[in-house]
């Protein structure tokens, strides 16, 4: 029997075993890396989810929403096994979380076979939403921020760029979309890739320094930004006159203030800044800091907004947890997030959001990504191009 058959058989058994009565609880399985090198991502998402529920209460459409939190340790096999267990044994109506691309991808066939909505709250490779018709994303895609920063670089006197990216889905998306956009605008690009596991950035930074570009474009996943910036400083690159640019993962708000002066002047394009100037974000940052003693970062809003999506979809279906009805309810939904206005593209189930160009500055003695330009309502460029 294939995995699909095992799962279908288990689901059929489970359906007969459970009497067809109205369930008062809606269980949401939240699968995140809460141990291992990507714990920081998992914690930000979990805390975003928990803050939403603390603020809005734990009922939606008259049903109690119950979160079942599971740690996959950042291991894709574990994500897949946990997703299956949650659907078959725990009877969750929705699976959510997914701290890294391989983890989101591992759960996608389970969502499809188990007919369960999968809310991707953290991962950023463009293709994720195409891996299952039951996936809806509240995080971001890397092309979404890599194209705007390429446009900015081309318009701001940068002609030669070295890209340094982590060698997996989101890094490859970032490299491709930055390079294509930037070369079309007349620039030249050279590229190097660092491994995802236990990276030592020194050799790549040395190569980048030797090439003497106007700028280094970097993508490293949240959780590796502090290490990257430390090695950037150790090689003296912050004093080299080479500008550092990229998607905003490298200036992750949670750890930015501890990076020190090396981060000053780094220009990035991203979906969220702790310093985003709106009443919604001021309230969000204050509540998040109070609850968790750290700044919220871009991962936290994926969790917070993912819960909003789930609550509002349940309200629209009148508490019905049928997967097709929930997905239909989510398509086209729009609201104001702490990050700004966002919506779910009804065609792709991917997030449409503003991308902000920001520069790291010291404000009242603390480092922040200070937004200075907005590109409104950005759809994932990778999917727009494929049409
Ligand atoms: C991803 O694995 O999709 C990912 C992880 C961390 C990031 C961005 C993307 O900061």
Q: What is the pLDDT along the chain (387 residues), one digit of tens a residue?
A: 555 565 656 655 555 444 444 457 999 999 999 999 999 999 999 999 999 999 999 999 999 999 999 999 999 999 999 999 999 999 999 999 999 999 999 999 999 999 999 999 999 999 999 999 999 999 999 999 999 999 999 999 999 999 999 999 999 999 999 999 999 999 999 999 999 998 999 999 999 999 999 999 999 999 999 999 999 999 999 999 999 999 999 999 999 999 999 999 999 999 999 999 999 999 999 999 999 999 999 999 999 999 999 999 999 999 999 999 999 999 999 999 999 999 999 999 999 999 999 999 999 999 999 999 999 999 999 998 776
Instruction: Please tell me the distance between residue 236's alpha carbon and the centre of ligand 1 in angstroms.
Output: 27
Distance 141 CA to ligand 1 centre (A): 9
- Cβ atoms of residues 243 and 215 within 8 Å: yes
| Structure letter (DSSP) for residue 56 | H
CA 239–ligand 1 middle distance (angstroms)? 28
| Residues in Cβ contact with 33 at an 8 Å cutoff, skipping those fewer than 6 apart | 39, 41, 42, 71, 72, 73, 74, 99, 100, 103
* pTM of the complete model: 0.94
Which is the closest atom of ligand 1 to the Cα of 41? Answer: 6
Q: Does the beta carbon of 222 sit less than 6 angstroms from any atom of ligand 1? A: yes
SS3 197: coil
| 33 closest CA partner among 249, 264, 234, 221 | 221
Rounded Cα distance between 34 and 146, Å, is 28
What separation in Å is there between the alpha carbon of 178 and the centre of ligand 1?
16
Specify the DSSP element, H or E, that contains 27: strand 25-32
Q: Nearest to residue 323, comparing CAs of 332, 312, 335, 314?
A: 314
Distance CA(166)–CA(163), nearest Å, equals 10
Residues 312, 137: Cα–Cα separation, whole Å: 15
Give the integer Cα–Cα distance in Å for 379 and 309. 18
Taking Cα atoms as reference points, which of 191, 183, 175, 192 lies closest to residue 151? 183
170 in contact with ligand 1, CB cutoff 6 A: yes
100 lines ligand 1 (CB under 6 A): yes
How many whole angstroms from 124 Cα to the centroid of ligand 1?
A: 5
């Amino acid at each position: 029997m294939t995995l699909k058959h095992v799962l279908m058989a288990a689901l059929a058994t489970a359906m007969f075993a459970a009497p067809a009565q109205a369930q008062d609880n809606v269980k949401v399985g939240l699968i995140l890396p809460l141990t291992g090198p990507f714990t920081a991502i998992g914690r930000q998402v979990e805390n975003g989810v928990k803050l939403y529920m603390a603020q809005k209460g734990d009922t939606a459409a008259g049903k109690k929403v119950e979160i079942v939190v599971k740690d996959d340790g950042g291991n894709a096999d574990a994500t897949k096994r946990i997703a299956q267990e949650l659907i078959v044994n725990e009877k969750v109506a929705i699976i959510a979380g997914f701290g890294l691309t391989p983890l989101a991808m591992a759960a996608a066939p389970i969502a499809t076979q188990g007919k369960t909505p999968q809310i991707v709250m953290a991962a950023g490779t463009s293709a994720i939403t195409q891996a299952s018709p039951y996936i809806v994303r509240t995080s971001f895609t890397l092309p979404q921020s890599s194209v705007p920063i390429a446009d900015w670089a081309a318009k701001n006197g940068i002609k030669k760029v070295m890209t340094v990216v982590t060698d997996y889905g989101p890094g490859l998306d970032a490299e491709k979309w930055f390079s294509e956009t930037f070369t079309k605008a007349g620039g030249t690009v050279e590229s190097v890739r660092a491994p995802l596991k236990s990276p030592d950035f020194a050799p790549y930074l040395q190569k980048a320094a030797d090439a003497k570009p106007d700028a280094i474009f970097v993508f490293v996943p949240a959780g590796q930004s502090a290490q990257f910036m430390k090695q950037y400083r150790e090689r003296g690159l912050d004093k080299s006159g080479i500008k550092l640019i990229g998607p905003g993962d490298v200036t992750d708000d949670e750890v930015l203030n501890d990076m020190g002066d090396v981060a000053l002047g780094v220009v990035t394009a991203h979906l969220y800044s702790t310093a985003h100037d709106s009443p919604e974000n001021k309230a969000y940052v204050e509540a998040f800091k109070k609850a968790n003693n750290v700044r919220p970062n871009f991962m936290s809003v994926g969790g917070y907004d993912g819960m909003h999506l789930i609550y509002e979809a349940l309200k629209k279906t009148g508490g019905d947890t049928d997967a097709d009805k929930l997905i239909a309810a989510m398509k086209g939904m729009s609201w104001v997030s702490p990050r700004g206005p966002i919506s779910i593209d009804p065609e792709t189930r991917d997030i449409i959001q503003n991308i902000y160009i920001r520069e790291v500055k010291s404000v009242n003695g603390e480092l922040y990504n200070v937004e200075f330009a907005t590109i409104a309502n950005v759809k994932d460029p990778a999917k727009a191009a494929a049409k």
